[in-house]
Amino acid sequence: MRLILFSLFVLGALALAVVLLAWLAERRLDQTAGTQSFSDVARLPDVDVAVVLGTAPIGPEGGPNVYFVHRLDAAAALWKAGKVKYFIVSGSTDEPAAMRAGLIERGVPAAAIYRDPEGYRTWDSVLRARDVFGQKRLVIVSQRFHLSRALFLARHAGIEAWGFEARDVEQPYSMFTELRRFPSALRAYLDVWTGAPAHDGGTPVKVGIDPPS
């Protein structure tokens, strides 16, 4: 019985330690993003390329995903302000195609939009922007909680990056949606420490020279 109780105590202590580390990681990322992440488009520098990070176009309730809609609205605002010349819409499965269609609906020409269907994770999107699309200077578009992680990863990948904050949702879809940022922050540190490779290297693409896919 004592052995069982001791084992439960150790497991509980380890779980608590992981939770604490994840919380500290998320807080640290948010603090360090403060000088690089903006909600005012006028504060961003002019760059050639912006990466729009993907999320599912359809929300769990079956309607449009509000995170998705707000990211495209922010990307279109970048275009209208003349801050970028091209977009890389990075996500998995049907996300890049849906983002491309949404940006076209918002007035961005198709010739300015490159799809990256191998952006399964934020780390993949960042590394592929550098290694496949040849970018070392970027604006990244997403919600603030996501940008803090993306900017950290970009910095450690040798990319000069700024974040443009899409409007956040008024009410998260679920507790899981709200809490997932904490283990994701911890994983960002692990990706950097371990030097995890991108999911798929892919054929190099010259943005502005090669035609968009």
Q: Which domains, from first to last, does the chain contain?
A: 2-194 (3.40.50)
On the question of pLDDT at 78 being above 50, the answer is yes
Instruction: Give the count of beta carbons closer than 10 Å to the beta carbon of residue 99.
Output: 27
Segment 112-134 mean pLDDT? 94
Q: What share of the chain is helix, strand, coil (3-state, %, to 5)?
A: 50, 15, 35
Evaluate if pTM is beyond 0.85. Answer: no
On the question of pLDDT at 71 being above 50, the answer is yes
Could you tell me the pLDDT band of residue 38, with boundaries at 50, 70 and 90?
A: very high
Instruction: Give the count of beta carbons closer than 10 Å to the beta carbon of residue 118.
Output: 20
Q: Is residue 70 within 8 Å of residue 166, measured between CB atoms?
A: yes
- Strand (E) or helix (H) holding 21: helix 2-32
